[in-house]
Structure 1
């Protein structure tokens, strides 16, 4: 039998296809619709652990679920459930939601995400810290994760916002949905297609849930990245 020669360039392209598909098409297909957004992808069983009631979505995390790529490797855990909606990153976008986590154990949280693949993502969370205070936390992952603790929040829930004008991305929170506090600002250097999503986590606990209300995804950005509006 004569073996057919495959051009080197074609062979390299074929080898890259799975990685590209994974980066652009994560998780399993779902169809979960709210008035302001439709989620079409599910990571780590998020679709099976979601309940929708009107405009309210509740996502449950099983025990010991988290997304964090520890620089030391000791605490790495990439199992948190995440619901995702595809976004054209060539256009402006803004994702907003009121997030109310159920806090039972340290690091329980509800979060919003920008997701590209399992080693390239960002999250903004309302999380219980080591002193059992609830606060805003952001994590930016490029291969490994950083970890940034922000303001302590005494309310049960908080409004969150992620906005991009295609060049810049801002993370914000608000207690009244009127005055927004900037907690992270960075360059939008992500692919043309990305995913935005919601998540719950329980890294040390036996499971928890987070409720997301007034979730909205629009193709507009904030006008003032310092003020978030």
Structure 2
């Protein structure tokens, strides 16, 4: 893959920041090249994840957005560009203050939410969607009822952040309160946001959240019946068991 580098607004070659962090003593040529390759690979993963949200029906058009952090550089999908049109040359990156340092495209309008997550957690990736079932649930309840133990994978019962206009600091602040002790939340009349140590983990949490919302809507729609819910202790137990789930390396 060709290195997707462009000059930044201040005329410095994009990618030097990552190169300096991975190079010897502040970024020699070898370190810069390695850093640039890391950025290129991560950008490809960001684009692939964004396209996956469309393919899996979690977003429509250019709604939703994806980002990943490498050092103090945040790679993020640009505003209003269909994901299937993104190329290596369209790489878009900002620092943790939101200043564009890589590429020429305008970052997603939801950048305040992404940066708020990176500044307050150990997240390395963030996925935001407008998934239909999750958005529907966000209009009905202040917290997703615990219909399934996979709520534990997100840290516990999933809260709904109160509505605020998209792209605002108010929305980012509401989101942070809903995320306290959690790795995902619903955004009232809006959608979902999840984070993780990798893009795959952040995406999986998004998919699990949408599935749990669909499950609750399906179960609660049966006339005359009310879904059974798990207790806090049961969710906590599931969380402990999930820590040992999967293969060991």
Normalising by structure 1, we get a TM-score of 0.24
User: Which is bigger in relative contact order (C-alpha 8 A, separation at least 6)?
Assistant: 1
Normalized per residue, the structure richer in strand is: 1
Normalized per residue, the structure richer in helix is: 2
